[in-house]
Amino acid sequence: MAPQLNLHDSQEDDNDILSCAPLQIEGTCTMRLFAACCVCFIVAGTASAAFADGFPGKGDPADWEDALPYYNRANRYLNQGRYDDAIEDYKVAIGKYKYDADFYTNLGVAYRKQEDYGSAAECYKRASELNPKDWVPVSDLANAYLKQNKLPETVATFQRTLKLNPPAAEKAHILQDIKDINKILRMQGGAPQTATKPAAGKTDPNRRGDAMHRPDLKSSGWDYVYK
């Protein structure tokens, strides 16, 4: 499914990297430049509330603010198919602020689009370390392993994803993926791995990164992975 854009001017200058228009891309969250726009109005005693919806809570908020314009421009490049430019800007953003899992997840998407699945996997690993409760980078990591034909690693990582309570549709795809991969492993003489029963409970619909805020996400599924 094509990413949904909300850009008012497709001919804008590349150097005009400050935009408050929301943008969604496959496998990523909504642009959060609004926080950078309002940071100038933050006064002592109000910083936590101002950054509650975006700032990861680690490091210097000013560094995160400085990184956001590059992250947002990289998102635009990614939607335009300018993957080299996107990778360059994501790396600049990470160089300025290294604690935002979304920076690494989106960098992984850019590498994935270039079929550099090894580099994508390393990005997803780092994203999952920074935000261990988010199922998205873990599922993306499983798919990166799948594209490298690392089937046991794929199954094990999908099992990790199930423990993070992905949405029902994704859960169904993942369970089917595990079943299909285990069939291949049996044919190859390998030991199949049992799917882990997902933990009880519901995902928080207000959590940043939840699937309901990214309807175009395709992070798993045997038949359509990374098309």
CATH number for the domain formed by residue range(s) 15-42+51-116: 1.25.40
pLDDT digits (tens, 9 = 90+) for 111-133: 999 999 999 999 999 999 999 99
Show pLDDT as tens, one digit a residue, over the chain (227 residues): 333 322 323 334 565 544 433 354 554 444 554 444 444 333 333 332 223 248 999 999 999 999 999 999 999 999 999 999 999 999 999 999 999 999 999 999 999 999 999 999 999 999 999 999 999 999 999 999 999 999 999 999 999 999 999 999 999 999 999 999 999 999 888 666 655 444 444 333 333 333 222 323 333 333 333 33
- How far apart are alpha carbons 119 and 38 in whole angstroms? 34
Domain limits of the chain? 15-42+51-116, 133-216
The amino acid at 150: K
Q: Copy the structure tokens of residue 177.
A: 């993926």
- How far apart are alpha carbons 198 and 195 in whole angstroms? 9
Nearest to 162 by CA among 150, 170, 153: 170
Is 181 in contact with 151 (CB distance < 8 Å)?
Answer: yes
DSSP string, 129-151: HH-TT-HHHHHHHHHHHHHTT-H
Q: What is the pLDDT of residue 188?
A: 85
- How far apart are alpha carbons 100 and 209 in whole angstroms? 12
Q: Provide the b/e sequence for 172-201 (b: ≥16 CB within 10 Å).
A: ebbbebbeebbeebeeeeeeebebbebeee
Unique residue bearing structure tokens 């990523």: 28
